[in-house]
């Protein structure tokens, strides 16, 4: 149950931060820098799929980040 909560927390936090940074990227340099970091690697893919299905790709990107960050937490910061 702890693993699901950790993964879900990372997913929600990344999705919210990614949306905020996307929404304010053109108005604010800090948000633009966050967008550059949080959108990597999937949102920056060129082509039809990334532009046509932007929010699907953005959520897949959040899933990827949540999985990677959860893996790090499970490997290094949790007892077996």
Distance CA 75, CA 72 (A): 5
| C-beta separation of 3 from 70 below 8 A | yes
Q: Could you identify the residue written with the tokens 């532009």?
A: 51
Q: Residue 10: is its pLDDT beyond 80?
A: yes
Q: Above 70 in pLDDT, residue 80?
A: no
User: Which distant-in-sequence residues (6+ apart) come within 8 Å of 56 by Cβ?
Assistant: none
The percent of residues above 70 in pLDDT, for the chain, comes to 98
Each residue of 30-54: pLDDT tens digit? 999 998 898 888 877 777 777 888 8
User: CB neighbours of 55 closer than 8 A, spacing ≥ 6?
Assistant: none
Q: What is the DSSP letter of 78?
A: S
Provide the residue ranges of all domains of the chain, joining segments of one domain with +.
Answer: 14-76
pLDDT tier, 62 (very low <50, low <70, confident <90, very high otherwise): very high
Q: What is the mean pLDDT of the chain?
A: 89
């Amino acid at each position: 149950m702890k693993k699901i909560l950790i993964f879900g927390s990372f997913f929600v936090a990344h999705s919210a931060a990614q949306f905020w940074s996307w929404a304010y990227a053109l108005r604010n340099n800090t948000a633009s820098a966050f967008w550059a970091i949080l959108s990597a690697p999937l949102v920056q893919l060129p082509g039809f799929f990334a532009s046509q299905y932007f929010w699907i790709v953005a959520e897949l990107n959040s899933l990827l980040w949540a999985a990677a960050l959860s893996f790090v937490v499970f490997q290094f910061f949790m007892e077996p």
